[in-house]
Structures are given as C-alpha cells and as structure tokens.
Structure 1
Amino acid sequence: MKHNYEYLYFSIRIARAAIGSSEKITQEIKWKTPDTLIKLPTFEGSPTTKEKSYEEITREIIKRNKFDSISVTNYDSSLPKVRYIYGLGGMTFGELEAISDQDSPTAVLFTSLRNKSGSRTAVCLFGSSTNYTEHVTHAGSTDSPPSAWTSSARMGVERFLRQRCERGNSHYTREELAAEAFKIAYCNYSTGSLIPWNRGHMFGHSEEKVDWFARLHWSVSLEHPIKRDGAEYNQIILGAPVWARNPSGSVLRYNESTEKELERRFRKELSPIDRIRYTLQRKSHHFYGRYETGEYSID
C-alpha cells in the first residue's frame, strides 16, 4: 500500500551523503514537441533540472541503502554494522538552546521501544533545529523555567556526537557519554516531572506513528541499566535523523491549553492510588509513570 506522508524533519545534508551526492539533489527533465497526425519536424529542448521533492529523495535513499539499513525492531548490536536505522512509532520533538550566537539550536528527537524482556531501548537522535519543518516549529518551543535541570556534560556529548561516538574523553567513557546523551534527550529542561509537555524547549509530539530514518552513530548495551520513571533502559541507540514523517503532518504542540488537556488525560488513566502517588511525587520533584511512543502507561 502506498502512503502519502508529510515531513516533520528532513536533513538535506545527510540525505546527500546517503545517496552519494555532494551537490544539489536534482533530476533531469527533457522536453520535445508532441507527436501530431501530420508529420512535422520535431524539436528536442536542452535538458533542465529541478530539485527533487523530499518524497523522491526518500525513495532513492531507501532503494540505495536497502542492504545497509535495518529496522530498529530487528536491530542487534552483535549483527554486522549498518549505516542506517529506521522505525515506526511515537516520537517527541524538542531542541537544545544554541551554545553561542554562531550556532543553531540542536534538534532532539526521542522515541523508545519495549524489548521482549520487558526492558527498553532508547533511541536518541540529534540534528539541527533548522531541519524541522513548519509542522513542528509553527508555534515555537515551550519556554524553560529558570530552575530547570540541564546537563553539565552537554559540551562533551555534542563533541562525542560530532565524532560519530568513536571515542570518549578524559572525563567520560563512551558508555558514560551515551548515558549522558540519553539523559539530555529524556530529561533536559525538566523541573522534576519528565513528561514531555512539562519540560522546557519542547515543540510537541506526534499522536500518529512517525516513520523515521537515521544515520546510526553507535548503540550500546548498558552494563548497568538506567532506571527512569519505573522503566529500565538497557540499550541506547544514538544517531542523526535524516527524516521523520507522518501521514497528516500533525504535531500536538505544547502550550498552556494542550498541556492542561494532556495532564487531564494522563491523570484520568491512572488508578485512584496512582493518581495520589503521582500528585505527591510531582510535588517532591519526582515523576511516577512515563510517556512512551504516543501512549500513556504506568508501571
């Protein structure tokens, strides 16, 4: 079945690398005079070019990298390394503030999946906020409270990602930097509650499943799993997004009205005792429960 998608994120730079082109991604168009019943001389014009659409580029990338990409549900770090990884599921869209005036904010796309063992794999994708489409950025990201938590390891993590996660540094091992990258994607700009709409610098999330494709930097199976909100993460996948898209282009943007509705929906699904526990733990800056792949659930 053919699907029509709207793009939420698209990186032309990585797309060029994926199809082996350093120039603009174009297609050649030829024209000639149409045939007629009366035989007339025909003329053929010089070929012209136009930039390909995101959809055309996407199809070419999938075709060219068929044997160099793998679904996240089938991925295993023990398998021969591939360059690209893809998946389908819920996704949140946020950003990290630019470090300097010369830099652009960093896009942060996060999703996760539950493994057969019950533990989870965190997929943390870092790119450029300039690659978000207006479907995501139209309303702008939410502000961050002054007391919000930010990672002290951010500079080291960004260098780690730029180096495609090839090595650690004098302060952190590769595994430690991967864990810090996960904390940034999952916890940055939080004030206790880790629900996305309660964190700063978040655009929103897709309530439809998002089809995503990313360049794989590194994945690590953690010797000591990270526990967050009743869930245990035993694997982290780090990469750079090439695209993220869904059928409608709709993103539930976080603002005062949607946050109240999301909070109401979240609380409604809790049992009475869990609702009380959630309220008390929020007041004490702990979060009970979690948000994952577009659904609300609690352990």
Structure 2
Amino acid sequence: MTKRDWTTAGAGGEPLLRALAGLPGSVLTSFLLTLADLRARERSPADVLRQWEVDTFTGLAAVDLRRLLRAELRLLDAAAGFEAVELAPLAPLATCAAVGPTSQNKIVTTMRGTEVVSDSTNVLALECARRLRRDPHTPVRLATCQRVVRAQEVPRRPGYAHHFKLFSLATAGRQTRDHGFLVDALVEHVRTLLRGFDQLTQEGFTFGRRSVRLLATTARNAVADRIAEQLAPVVDLARRPLDHDYYDGLRFIIEIEAPDGSVVPIADGGAFDWVARLAANRRLVFVASGLGTQLVVLLFGGSASLQSRK
C-alpha cells in the first residue's frame, strides 16, 4: 500500500509541490500572499474570535505582564556585562535549520522569506557573526528577552503554550590559547544565570536547591574539567557524558528545586558551531544559553497570577 503524504494529499501531490518550490521567490511570495488574501476575505468576525478562543498559538500569555517585566529587568541587571539588544519578531528563513538539526516544520514560517523567531540564541548568532566578520578581534556579548513561538507539541499543563518568553545570553569571539575563551565564556554564562536567580529573590521569588549538570563529549572532557574547577566552589555540580549533536561538545543545565519538591531544568546552554559556520571562520567560538522567564514566574514567583481562557 502506498503511504499517503498528508502534506500534499488532496492538493495536487508531489508534482505540484515541486512546481511551487521551483518558482522564483518573488513569484511564489505573490502567489501565497494572494492566496492568503482570498482566504482572509472568506473569514467572518465569528471565525476569527473562534480561533482566538481555542488556538494555542494565539491569545494571552500565562503570566501577569508587570510581574514578567520586573523579572526580566532583574535578569538583565544580572547580565550587566552583556549588551542588551531588542530583537525583531521575525528572522531570515532557515535561521535555525541552516545551522542545526532542526526541522522547519517546528517553526512558524511566513510567506515573505522569513520565520517567526523560535529561539533567540540562533538570531543572536546571526548578529554575532555579522559583527565578527567586520571585526574578528572584538568579542561580542549580547543579552535579550524575547517572546518566541514554536510549532511543536507542548505539555498539557497550565502555563505551557506555543509562545513563551526567553531570556538569552550569547558570547562569541576568536578562540584563545588552550580554549581559554570557551572556558571563560561558559563559566560566565552559568555565573550570570545564577546571579540572576539571586536578583529575582529581591522580587519575592523563592528558589530551592540549585545545581548544575555539566555534560561533555570525550573530546571536550579536559575543557569541562577546567570549567568544573571554576564552578564547583559556587554551586553543586555533576558531570555527565554528552551524546547530543545539537551542541559542540559542551552543554550545561541548571536545575532548581520547585516549591512542590520537584526538580526543574530551568536553564541550559553550551557551545555551538553556529557562528563559525555563519562567518566561515573555524576559529570563532559561540556560547549561548536560555532561561524560560515565563516558567520562572509561574513556578517560583509566588504571587504570580495565571491568565485563563473562560
């Protein structure tokens, strides 16, 4: 029996898909925009409201905005050594898929050759590559808070949705002797995130025991040893092997005990080869990390209120 492809079934099949893919970009964009206009004209106000009520890609965020903004300001204060930047909600098409094992099907693609940002660290990698191509000798340190959208299945629990806020850090520059730049950058990210939790306690957040899992490939074990040596005095640290090809040999995960006693992996980061590939310079190092601020407010913010659809 021939397997039916749901992406083309009933719409002309593979030949039509290939014909559309082969159109010049401007022609395809015009076609898709015209199609969207026709479909929009067929929708009634009731249709729009119905989608707003049930579509998890739309609607209100799960936290109070004032509470969320205060938390983000505290995190940015903790990252005083990073330049704070505001990113656009859109990024070039394949911002994630071109440099990592990410399927475009998990990303909201627009009809204008762009995509809705699904991971701020990938966009920060673009900006780091742009700057380092102009001046490869000046390291780049960037921080941002951004609402991102991911087109993948989400847990059926309060506070989880296709869109959420991320606090992200990115560091890029030329590798130095004995991987010194990489070691310093990764240590700085972990220390900055831990300092951010200290800042949040001044806003009434309550955190339980904190710990860090440091994962490394065999080739990166010596580098991980040096990172662990610097972090062990300030936080409980465990070493683990890394077998995930999304990272360039090093990854860290910050875990915090929640009020209900569960242990939550609340932040993670590591080394990536994205900037080296984007700038076509193998000597460039890129370290990025992310923290789900929306989840932090919900789990550790105490008086944070959860928005609900009725």
TM-score for both structures, normalised by structure 2:
0.25
Which structure shows the higher strand fraction? 1
Higher percent of residues as helix: 2
Q: TM-score, normalised by structure 1?
A: 0.25
